[in-house]
Amino acid sequence: MSKRKVGVLVMSYGTPESMDQIEAYYTHIRRGHPPTAEQLNELKQRYEAIVGGFFPLRKNTDRQVAALQETLNRNQTDIEFVCYQGLKHASPFIEDGVEQMVKDGLTEAVGVVLAPHYSTMSVGTYNKRAQQKAEELGLSIRFVNSYHLHPKLLEALSSRVENTLQKFGDAEKDEVRVIFTAHSLPAKILELNDPYVDQLMETSRAIADRLGLTNWQFGWQSAGQTAMPWLGPDILETLETIHKEENVKNVLLCPIGFVSDHLEVLYDIDIECRQTADKLGIHLERTESLNTDPLYMETLSDVVTAELERN
């Protein structure tokens, strides 16, 4: 008897494949409005500073999708899982992934986003686009909305914090401020009963509890360049404030909202935050990204399987 075959739409932010694709990518993020020459230049410079000829998010997403397929099929013997990529702002787009599943003859699928926390403005928009395309093509698809308190995810993040604490000297260790960070969003989500902020606080608190941390806080990073207010204060301002008002000299950043090495980690933290920390004389370290950590792959595998089994 042939096995039940289930498609898994693994959705991620997407990144350009080359420097000359940055304009089209940025235009897509801006919902079809091309950036000004100044905005484009500024983004190109950020990529130039990190990429050195390649775009890390693409390779990391490719690897995560392959590792998830392998993990799912190792854990489940009566179902064959086939993973497809669906990117938000680059090719293969979310709609392409859905279309490919249907072309390959699949009739049922589960969607999961490579971001643990739900917001209507992030995961919600991925799911909506996939749902629309699936309805159009007659594919039955269900979605994982969030997995921010999955024990294996918490274990992976906690052990990263623990390992990174070892990078501080014995005299510094007791005075390290751990700051959990995530991508800021427009502040209007606060009026929409959106779970994003609460879920981020829950993940932060759960890691702090596991490790018995008392010296920790949350910080926002990577706010967009738009006229509307974003959730803040921004991490750069937070570093200035805690240094000035509390004399904090040691900071460990743990970007819980991101699961991969990409622009927002490699530039916004590793270059921008580091510059600010150096200027202030703060010893700054950051936790390694999850990328294909087996515990993260197991987390995704568990939530996809659980979604499939849910009535």
Q: Is 211 exposed, middle or buried (0-12, 13-18, 19+ CB in 10 A)?
A: middle
* Cα 86 → chain centroid: 15
Segment 202-231, which members bind ligand FEC (CB under 6 A)? 224-226
Closest C-alpha to 292, from 54, 112, 50, 67: 67
Pick between residue 177 and residue 262 the one whose CB is nearest to ligand FEC: 262
> Closest separation between CB of residue 239 and ligand FEC, Å?
19
SS3 221: strand
Asked if residue 54 lies in contact with residue 60, where contact means CB atoms within 8 angstroms, the answer is no
Contacts of 70 (CB under 8 A, 6+ apart): 297
Minimum distance between the CB of residue 8 and ligand FEC, rounded to whole angstroms? 17
**Which residues ranging from 160 to 189 are in contact with ligand FEC (CB under 6 A)?**
183, 185
Among 99, 264, 285, 302, binds ligand FEC (CB under 6 A): 264
Q: Which two tokens stand for residue 26?
A: 């940025």
At closest approach, how far in Å is the CB of 166 from ligand FEC? Answer: 27
User: Is 219 within 8 Å of 276 (Cβ atoms)?
Assistant: no
Among positions 7, 8, 10, 13, the unique one binding ligand FEC when judged by CB under 6 A: 13
In whole angstroms, the minimum distance from the beta carbon of 262 to ligand FEC comes to 3
Closest CA to 180 of 137, 210, 146: 210
105-134 positions binding ligand FEC, by CB under 6 A = 115, 121-122
Task: Give residue 27's identity as a one-letter amino acid code.
Answer: T
**Binding string, 27-56, against ligand FEC, x = CB under 6 A?**
--xx------------x-----------x-
Q: Which of 215/276 has CB closer to ligand FEC?
A: 276
Shortest approach of ligand FEC to residue 176 CB, angstroms?
26
Among 57, 161, 178, 189, which residue sits at the site for ligand FEC (rule: CB under 6 A)? 57
- Burial category of 25 from C-beta neighbours within 10 Å (exposed 0-12, middle 13-18, buried 19 and up): buried
By CB under 6 A, name the binding residues for ligand FEC: 13, 15, 26, 29-30, 43, 55, 57, 115, 121-122, 183, 185, 224-226, 257, 262-264
